[in-house]
């Protein structure tokens, strides 16, 4: 069985839009100018995306004003429209239609028309935009928020009631804004530049986007023609002068950076990978060392691994996850199918390729250490075993072994075993945890992906694979959150914790046993040299026959070289494998994951009315952060250990 590399995810640009409502003074005064500036920005983005054939997805919260202005423009351009709503649709309509009476609010909550024409017009506008969008509704706190909203309307003079709803409602808007930021490559903010203090407000959302590493195109509601690009939170304090001459070119670069990896040849390397159904028995040296020195009960068993095929994962290791995804209360079954096709199969491919490359790289380097010891020992083995006239045979053996070392090193460098292993492993680990994040509407924000590596295509590949799927079409409820916690997130966290605990225990055993074995070999070398010296001293003192030292000198010379040579090779394997540091990384990872598991267990004990999307998504992000930190630590250890001759 051979599986070609899955095609690179189609490049897709994801935009987010935040802005003032219609009631904002600057927005109202400059409505037409703001609309023209927004169209100018969207035209420039569209031109840059069209140059690489990338479709565009626009996210907004569908509030009146800037959100609906952008939503209508997206629909007219045939862009995909996605709306992460801070409330369920009915409550969202009722709140944003701004009714003055409880009766109109209750009518809108029940899906009926409001008696006030202005209120009904606003409600209709929201529903029209919602009908054209894929909705991700944060409806888990709707019962509480509905009660607080109606209490506020019933008691317009009650300051406490107004504050109670405003605080809860603003927090939900900020939460939906965070979802939008995570799902977007670029944020467009239509803002008057006045305040960032209002939680969930436009200024707050722009500030959060910059904190998360998302670039922001700021259209100043007071001077919309002077739109500019902001790249860091500090730019809000000192935005600088507007460079009208170059800003479109800078915007095109921004789009290009989101749609293409930094290195031009990145995807070519990915496309050239080959998936193999099983490992190569000749490259299992590193894993054989683990088996021999970890206390494995069957260290000499076959170590050939059969990799899970991409088209088998949905009925294999991914079956439980897909079953849980398809049975999420009120979930999106079609979304689970997309995860199967676009994430799990891609993960299986990357995991199998990376495992094979890991064997080739680490097995090749382990073989180099063993062959170097055999070359030295084999080269002098003629002394105790044959005469000088037969030395050529032992020299030939040494030559073959040294040539083999050079061949392995050359192949490892030519075929980039080390680099390709790192790259494909990064893709696999990013995708391992991704299905759970996707089902919970979470992902890594643009600036939160690891950076600074020699190549960036693994991060680009994973990010675009997740971008292609985006948000599910779902209304989040407490039942959905509970099922996601208990059936998806917690099993994954526990499985990863148990894996790292077992790995740490195994690698610690390998480190200590290798250390003890190499020490004993050096001790045997000392004993062999000491034994020869005692023989020589005994012969000089006439306590032993005079010819004993001469008769045994070749044997003791051989042993005096063989023992420390093999000891050095074992120590080299221990140094190269860095088993102790990897064990420490896994111990820390397991401890962090256990902490996440404990938090999940506590949250699952809460009643449904206390389950909150913010807490659940935070736990999903915490687990994801642990995974990515482990990848970064692991690469920091092995990053400089390229395959080389063992000297």
Q: Measure the CA dihedral 285/286/288/294, to 10°.
A: 160
Q: What is the pLDDT of residue 270?
A: 64
Give residue-wise pLDDT tens across range 366-398.
999 999 999 999 999 988 888 888 889 999 999
Which residues have a Cβ under 8 Å from the Cβ of 127 and sit 6 or more positions away? 93
Name the nearest CA neighbour of 254 among 211, 208, 215, 220: 215
Q: Measure the CA dihedral 222/227/233/236, to 10°.
A: -30
How large is the average pLDDT for residues 487-496?
Answer: 96
Give residue-wise pLDDT tens across range 403-423.
999 999 999 999 989 888 988
How large is the average pLDDT for residues 145-161?
Answer: 94
Helix axes 490-540, 319-326, angle to 10 degrees: 160
Give residue-wise pLDDT tens across range 218-271.
999 999 999 999 999 998 887 778 888 889 999 999 999 898 876 644 444 566
Give residue-wise pLDDT tens across range 599-641.
999 999 999 989 999 999 999 999 999 988 988 888 888 777 7
Name the nearest CA neighbour of 364 among 645, 572, 583: 645
Between 403 and 3, residue with greater pLDDT:
403
Q: Are strands 186-191 and 13-19 parallel, antiparallel or unpaired?
A: parallel
How large is the average pLDDT for residues 479-505?
Answer: 96
Residue 387 burial class via C-beta count within 10 angstroms: exposed 0-12, middle 13-18, buried 19 and up: exposed
Residue 416 burial class via C-beta count within 10 angstroms: exposed 0-12, middle 13-18, buried 19 and up: middle
Name the nearest CA neighbour of 441 among 183, 156, 126, 173: 183
Helix axes 548-577, 345-380, angle to 10 degrees: 160
- Predicted confidence band at 597 (pLDDT cuts at 50, 70, 90)? very high
Q: Is 397 helix (H, G, I), strand (E, B) or coil?
A: helix
145 touches 169 (CB < 8 A) = yes
243 touches 53 (CB < 8 A) = no
Is the domain spanning 13-259 CATH 2.40.160.40? The answer is no
Q: Is 13 helix (H, G, I), strand (E, B) or coil?
A: strand
DSSP 328: S
Q: What is the pLDDT of residue 637?
A: 80
The label of the residue with tokens 């959100």 reads: 67
In angstroms, the CA 102 to CA 112 distance is 13
- In the chain, what are the domain boundaries? 13-259, 308-638
Give how far the C-alpha of residue 93 lies from the chain's centroid of Cα atoms, to the nearest Å.
Answer: 36
Which residues have a Cβ under 8 Å from the Cβ of 477 and sit 6 or more positions away? 139, 140, 329, 330
Give first-to-last CA distance, the chain, whole Å.
Answer: 39
Which H helix or E strand runs over 505?
helix 490-540
Give residue-wise pLDDT tens across range 34-55.
999 999 999 999 999 998 889 9
How large is the average pLDDT for residues 75-99?
Answer: 97
pLDDT at 453 over 70: no
In angstroms, the CA 65 to CA 19 distance is 7
- Kindly state the percentage of the chain with pLDDT values over 70: 97
> How far apart, in Å, are the Cα atoms of 49 and each of 57, 215, 217, 432, 600?
11, 16, 16, 29, 41
- Radius of gyration of the chain, Cα coordinates, nearest whole angstrom: 32
Q: What is the pLDDT of residue 452?
A: 59
Lowest model confidence (mean pLDDT) among 18-22, 83-87, 93-97, 538-542: 538-542
Q: Is 274 helix (H, G, I), strand (E, B) or coil?
A: strand
> How far apart, in Å, are the Cα atoms of 92 and each of 144, 172, 190, 460?
14, 11, 21, 35
- Predicted confidence band at 506 (pLDDT cuts at 50, 70, 90)? very high
Q: What is the pLDDT of residue 640?
A: 74
H helices of 110-201, in order, are: 117-131, 142-154, 159-182
Q: Is 345 helix (H, G, I), strand (E, B) or coil?
A: helix
Mind giving me the DSSP string for 123-146? HHHHHHHHHTSEEEEE-TTHHHHH
Q: What is the pLDDT of residue 504?
A: 96
- Predicted confidence band at 542 (pLDDT cuts at 50, 70, 90)? confident
Q: What is the pLDDT of residue 1?
A: 54
pLDDT at 545 over 50: yes
Q: Is 30 helix (H, G, I), strand (E, B) or coil?
A: coil
How large is the average pLDDT for residues 495-522?
Answer: 96
pLDDT at 75 over 80: yes
Q: What is the pLDDT of residue 460?
A: 87
């Amino acid at each position: 069985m051979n599986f070609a590399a899955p095609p690179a995810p189609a490049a897709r640009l994801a935009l987010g839009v935040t802005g003032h409502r219609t009631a904002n003074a600057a927005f109202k005064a400059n409505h037409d100018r703001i609309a023209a500036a927004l169209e100018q920005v969207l035209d420039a983005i569209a031109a840059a995306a069209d140059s690489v054939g990338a479709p565009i997805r626009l996210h907004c919260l569908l509030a009146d004003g800037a959100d609906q202005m952008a939503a209508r423009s997206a629909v007219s351009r045939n862009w995909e429209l996605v709306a992460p709503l801070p409330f369920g649709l009915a409550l969202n309509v009722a709140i944003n239609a701004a009714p003055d009476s409880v009766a109109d609010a209750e009518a809108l909550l029940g899906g009926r028309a409001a008696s006030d024409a202005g209120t009904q017009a606003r409600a209709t506008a929201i529903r029209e935009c919602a009908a054209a969008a894929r909705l991700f509704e944060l409806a888990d706190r709707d019962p509480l928020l509905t009660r607080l909203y109606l209490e506020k309307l019933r008691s317009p003079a009650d300051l406490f009631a107004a504050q109670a709803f405003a605080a809860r409602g603003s927090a939900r808007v900020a939460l939906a804004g965070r979802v939008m930021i995570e799902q977007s490559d670029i944020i467009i903010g239509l803002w008057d530049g006045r305040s960032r203090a209002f939680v969930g407000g436009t200024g707050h959302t722009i500030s959060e986007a910059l904190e998360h590493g998302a670039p922001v195109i700021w259209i100043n509601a007071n001077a919309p023609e002077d739109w500019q690009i902001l790249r860091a939170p500090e730019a809000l304090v000192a935005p600088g002068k507007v460079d009208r001459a170059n800003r479109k070119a800078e915007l095109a670069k921004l789009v290009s950076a989101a749609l293409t990896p930094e290195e031009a040849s990145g995807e070519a390397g990915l496309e050239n990978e080959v998936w193999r159904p099983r490992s190569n028995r000749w490259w299992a040296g590193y894993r054989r060392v683990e088996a021999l020195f970890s206390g494995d009960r069957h260290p000499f068993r076959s170590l050939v691994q059969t990799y899970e095929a991409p088209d088998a994962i949905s009925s294999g290791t991914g079956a439980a996850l897909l079953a849980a995804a398809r049975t999420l209360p009120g979930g999106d079954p079609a979304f689970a199918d997309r995860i199967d096709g676009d994430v799990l199969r891609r993960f299986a491919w990357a995991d199998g390729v990376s495992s094979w490359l890991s064997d080739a790289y680490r097995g090749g380097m382990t073989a180099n250490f063993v062959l170097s010891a055999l070359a030295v020992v084999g080269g002098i083995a003629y002394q105790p075993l044959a005469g000088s006239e037969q030395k050529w045979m032992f020299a030939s053996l040494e030559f073959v072994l040294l040539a083999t070392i050079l061949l392995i090193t050359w192949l490892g460098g030519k075929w980039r075993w080390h680099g390709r292993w790192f790259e494909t492993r990064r893709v696999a680990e990013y995708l391992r945890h991704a299905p759970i994040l996707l089902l919970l509407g979470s992902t890594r924000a643009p600036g939160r992906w690891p950076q600074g590596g020699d190549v960036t295509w693994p991060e680009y590949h994973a990010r675009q694979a997740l971008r292609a799927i985006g948000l599910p079409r779902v209304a989040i409820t407490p039942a959905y959150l509970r099922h996601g916690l208990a059936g998806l997130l917690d099993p994954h966290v526990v499985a990863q914790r148990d894996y790292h605990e077992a790995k740490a225990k195994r690698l610690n055993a390998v480190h200590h046993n290798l250390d003890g074995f190499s020490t004993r070999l050096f001790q045997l070398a000392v004993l062999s040299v000491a034994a020869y010296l005692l023989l020589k001293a005994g012969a000089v003192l006439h306590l032993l026959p005079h010819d004993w030292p001469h008769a045994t000198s070749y044997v003791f010379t051989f042993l005096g070289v063989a023992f420390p040579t093999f000891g050095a090779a074992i120590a080299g394997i221990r140094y190269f494998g860095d088993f102790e540091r990897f064990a420490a990384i896994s111990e820390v990872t397991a401890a962090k994951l256990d902490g996440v598991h404990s938090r999940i267990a506590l949250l699952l004990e809460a009643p449904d009315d206390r389950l909150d999307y913010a807490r659940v998504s935070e736990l999903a992000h915490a687990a994801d952060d642990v995974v990515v930190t482990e990848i970064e630590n692991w690469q920091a250890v092995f990053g400089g250990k390229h395959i080389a001759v063992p000297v």
